[in-house]
Structure 1
Amino acid sequence: MKELRILSGIEIDEDSSAVASLHQLTGLKKLAIYKLNIREGGQTFKQLRSSIEYLCSCGLQTMAINDESSNFINSLDTMTTPPRYIIGLELSGKMERPPQWIKELNNLYKLTLSVTVLQTDTFKLIQDLPKLFTLTFTLNATKDDRDIVDILEENKQLTDREIIIPPGGFKTLKLLRFFATMVPRLSFAVTGKEVMPALERIDMRFEAFEGIYGIETLKSLQEVHLSVGNQADEITKFLVQDLKDTPKYLDEKYANKWPKIITE
């Protein structure tokens, strides 16, 4: 199977004996692990991390790992060298921090991270990636909603209850997406400084929403898509409607800069 190019949709547990020989798939271009059920620090845990590091050095281009319980994705920060050939990376599940080597992925085109690392510092970490086109923060459906809300609340406390998108970076980013139970307050407004100059579209799917500010400063933004869940409260509905109605209260000069707001 050394000529295998795609290995996708697999589950790995403590009985997965093939993990020890995974590193032999040197022709692999895409690896997607949808579920991990392994013991932290155990033999399978160590073999998998070693194999992934080796495959990344052999030219792996797309990697997706969903880890709800084993703490494996948090251990990826200890890789000795970054996966330099990666163009698509997805790390979802119970993630405490993004690997610091992400900032060195100069070929990265598409990045998906767990909403549990939705923080201002995460944006600062990745803002200088030279080819990043799509950035997504997502929540896996099996994650406990209450747990996610608590994590997002803790994240907001680090930056005075809002996520601030830093200026001066994301030169190539065109699509920004948030798929979560709750999307915290997001701010793009930085006086006199350019923020995400190439961004054309924002997609959001949520049950609770705390607002998005400064979108009129995004010079390339054309559309904002909002998908509101059935359990949304009245405050969330009000904020969404207010976002749609804003151009009515602006001078024509500024109303023309307002992106199209599309709700579902």
Structure 2
Amino acid sequence: MESLQTLSGVKIGKGGIELIKELGKLRQLRKLTLFYARAEHFSALSSSLNEMRHLEKLCIVSGWEDGSYYDVIDLHLVSPPPMLRILKLGGRLEKIPEWIPQLKNLVNLI
């Protein structure tokens, strides 16, 4: 499973920290789509994403309730995936993440 390249439609939901930690082991991953990310997930998710050196497409959608997103997407990437070309963030952002300018291959930011 560590050679998996695409993982789509993963619903994290409540308590998904262990799942997120396991994602960090998928170092060959090129495409990742996550749904229902919550505030308590972003620290572990940041750590896992820092390990994904081959990631080309990342889509993260935060939780949705009563017609609005209820958690701010707050990722702290010390070493963001250098091959990332497409980044889709569905949710609230308080500010543009500081690591965005480090993405030299980024062609699509949604």
Q: TM-score, normalised by structure 2?
A: 0.79
Equivalent residues of 2:6, 2:30 under 8 A apart: yes
Q: Tell me which of the two structures has the higher relative contact order, counting C-alpha pairs closer than 8 angstroms and 6 or more residues apart.
A: 2
**How far 1:104 sits from its partner (Å)?**
2.6
Task: Mark the CA change 1:94 to 1:59 in structure 2 (over 3 Å): closer, same or farther.
Answer: same
In the alignment, which residue of structure 1 is the partner of 2:77? 79
Moved over 6 A (4+): none
Q: Which segments of 5 or more consecutive residues in structure 1 lack a partner in the other structure?
A: 113-264
In the alignment, which residue of structure 1 is the partner of 2:57? 62
Q: TM-score, normalised by structure 1?
A: 0.36
Equivalent pairs counted in the alignment come to: 103
Residues 1:96 and 2:104 aligned together: no
Paired residue secondary structure (1:24): coil
TM-align CA RMSD: 1.8
Residues 1:51 and 2:52 aligned together: no
**How far 1:84 sits from its partner (Å)?**
1.9
Task: Mark the CA change 1:52 to 1:82 in structure 2 (over 3 Å): closer, same or farther.
Answer: closer
**How far 1:35 sits from its partner (Å)?**
2.1
User: Would you tell me which structure has more helix in proportion to its own residues?
Assistant: 1
Q: Which segments of 5 or more consecutive residues in structure 2 lack a partner in the other structure?
A: 63-68
Which string of whole-angstrom CA distances, capped at 9 and with x for unpartnered residues, describes residues 68-94 of structure 1?
Answer: 3232x2x22x32123321011111211
Distance 1:27 1:61 in 2: 10
- Larger Cα Rg: Structure 1 or Structure 2? 1
Mapping for residues 1-264 of structure 1, pairs under 5 Å: 1-16=1-16, 17-36=18-37, 38=38, 40=39, 42=40, 44-55=41-52, 58-67=53-62, 68-71=69-72, 73=73, 75-76=74-75, 78-112=76-110
Distance 2:45 2:106 in 1: 22
Distance 1:105 1:18 in 2: 26
